[in-house]
Amino acid sequence: MIQIHFIFNPIAGSGHHSFSECYLQDYFEPENYNINIKSSGYKGHAIKLAEESIRQKADIIVACGGDGTINEVASTLVGTTIPLGIVPIGSGNGLASNLNIPKSIKKALFVIKNNQSTKIDVGCLNQRYFFSNIGFGFTASVIGNYEASQKRTLPHYVQACFKSFRDYNRKEEVVISIDDTIKLVNPFLIFISNSNVMGYSMSLTPKASLKDGLLDVIIVPRISRLKMAFFGFCMLLKRPELLKEVKCYQTDRLTLTQKNRSFFESQIDGELSKIKEFTITVSLKKDSLNVLV
């Protein structure tokens, strides 16, 4: 008997999805599968639910939600042999897009049933994991405004971008050490990605791969509002390098040190996070998560 656990975020995306045992039994027949459905009740709850599923000897754990839910569930599975299934019912669904997991729930369930897994790299920010991307500066500001809107839809994401475009004016100096290069930057944004999709099919790192053992890094220094608007346009074209100030790197490790503050305002897989450290190390664990694709 296969123990399959579904961890479902009821507020992900439109917030209109629900999963019943009866519905899932159409895909996972009761003769072969024991279905366990858990609903997360608050931010971070999916971590506890997934840890409980591991103790309950789940054979497959499925994250039903967006990149935030995937982050919570997958973080407990790094380094284990338990495969992660994904039903992408979030708003951005960056990781699922990179993995070509269909947005149709029915098709995503068939992918899980098919039981083909692949190993992907996992990003580490100090002690935390990320699977899609992390960002500082403007990208964290956008996520802050997006979360404040309390709605997880594309129009609210676009509104959050415009609000940050209008208001964002932070001055911070960060020392970045990548491979043998050390530089002091006053960034508009720093974006570090394992995946080639940010969410909503947009990308700042179209060449990133979940399997290449490398993180793709984009650093944009402080620029004028006109250039910010041009950069937004380049992002829609998936050609961020068209702005000449953009610096792109590929590496498996970098460190960021704040010059004047004792914390980093960041987004981790699309969730706002304040990191109370002067220095952070970002690295990669190669092939450390099994995902059903």
Residues 188-227 that bind ligand ATP (CB under 6 A): 199
Task: Report the residue from 4, 7, 9, 143 that binds ligand ATP according to the rule CB under 6 A.
Answer: 9
Q: What is the DSSP string of 215-265?
A: EEEEEEE---HHHHHHHHHHHHTT-GGGSTT-EEEEESEEEEEESS-S-EE
Pick the closest to residue 61 from 87, 93, 79 (CA basis): 87
Task: Report the residue from 4, 7, 12, 218 that binds ligand ATP according to the rule CB under 6 A.
Answer: 12
Cα separation, 175 vs 168, in Å, equals: 21
| Helices and strands, number each (H, E), in the chain | 8, 16
Neighbours of 148 (CB within 10 A): 12
Q: Is 9 or 290 the residue whose CB approaches ligand ATP more closely?
A: 9
Cα separation, 45 vs 69, in Å, equals: 9
Cα separation, 31 vs 149, in Å, equals: 45
Tell me which amino acid residue 68 is.
G
Residues touching ligand ATP: how many (CB under 6 A)? 25
Q: Does 69 bind ligand ATP (CB under 6 A)?
A: yes
Looking at 37-45, 112-120, 235-243, 284-292, which segment touches ligand ATP (CB under 6 A)? 37-45
Mark residues 74-113: x for contact with ligand ATP by CB under 6 A, - for none.
----------------xxxx--------------------
Look at the block and give the residue holding tokens 């499925």: 62
Task: Report the residue from 4, 5, 7, 13 that binds ligand ATP according to the rule CB under 6 A.
Answer: 13
Q: Could you tell me the sign of the dihedral formed by the alpha carbons of 280, 230, 209, 183, in that order? A: negative
Cα separation, 179 vs 255, in Å, equals: 9
H helices within the chain, ranges in order? 21-25, 45-55, 67-77, 94-98, 105-114, 138-149, 154-167, 225-236
Cα–Cα distances (Å) from 261 to 177, 185, 240, 275, in that order, read 17, 14, 28, 11
Q: Does 144 bind ligand ATP (CB under 6 A)?
A: no
Residues 43-62 that bind ligand ATP (CB under 6 A): 43-45
Q: Is 201 or 279 the residue whose CB approaches ligand ATP more closely?
A: 201
Least distance from ligand ATP to the Cβ atom of residue 31, Å: 31
Cα separation, 188 vs 168, in Å, equals: 9
Q: Does 68 bind ligand ATP (CB under 6 A)?
A: yes
Q: Does 274 bind ligand ATP (CB under 6 A)?
A: no
Residues 151-180 that bind ligand ATP (CB under 6 A): 152
Q: Does 240 bind ligand ATP (CB under 6 A)?
A: no
Least distance from ligand ATP to the Cβ atom of residue 97, Å: 9
Q: Is 12 or 219 the residue whose CB approaches ligand ATP more closely?
A: 12
Q: Is 33 or 131 the residue whose CB approaches ligand ATP more closely?
A: 131
Task: Report the residue from 40, 98, 141, 145 that binds ligand ATP according to the rule CB under 6 A.
Answer: 40
Please report, as ranges, the residues that interact with ligand ATP according to CB under 6 A.
Answer: 9-13, 40-45, 65-69, 72, 90-93, 152, 199, 270-271
